[in-house]
Amino acid sequence: MRRILVTAVLAALSSFLAPPRATGAEVPAKYRGIVAAIKANAASTPGLITHIPQGTIYFKWLQSPPGQYEKAYFKLGEIDKGSFLSLQLIKHGGAGVELLELIDEEPMNGVVEAAYRGSGRTLPDADRVINANLKAAKVTVTPEMQTNFREGLDELRFELGVK
């Protein structure tokens, strides 16, 4: 009995004294306000939070999409592998829907690190095209994409009242 107690106390002390591990969900200071505002907005509107086995994804549609796009929304993901903020830009054409996904991964710094393009008859079809083969859907990040992301962030800050 005494050994079990000593072992339990030592285990508790070692976990308490061990340096903290990075959780992957740490958010840089300049994004904390945006992250909190997206979460609050998603919590106040049904259907804007998705729970998946790897974590949680929050959504925020923009009222004024950047560039020549007709619709846009941000996705904030807090998953096991880390956090990300992505902007989905949507436009309709003769062949259907084109979806451009611009991703700012950890450490979220306002710079697009990856971009993916997909098209299909509907928005879910275009999303499936991207998720079915990320390597084929990956496109080179252009200065125009960086500008669209920054403009989207500015609009997001404005809509959510974040400085």
Q: What confidence score (pLDDT) does residue 58 get?
A: 96
93 band by pLDDT with thresholds 50, 70 and 90: confident
Q: What confidence score (pLDDT) does residue 26 get?
A: 60
pTM: 0.79
Note whether 84 and 104 are within 8 A (CB): yes
SS3 28: coil
pLDDT at 13 over 70: no
24 band by pLDDT with thresholds 50, 70 and 90: very low
The mean per-residue pLDDT over the stretch 55-62 comes to 96
Give CA–CA dist 35/41, Å, rounded: 10
Can you give the residue ranges of every domain in the chain? 23-160
Short-list 73, 70, 71, CA closest to 153 = 73
SS3 69: coil
Residues above pLDDT 90, as percent of the chain: 69
* Burial zone of 61 (CB within 10 Å; 0-12 exposed, 13-18 middle, 19+ buried): middle
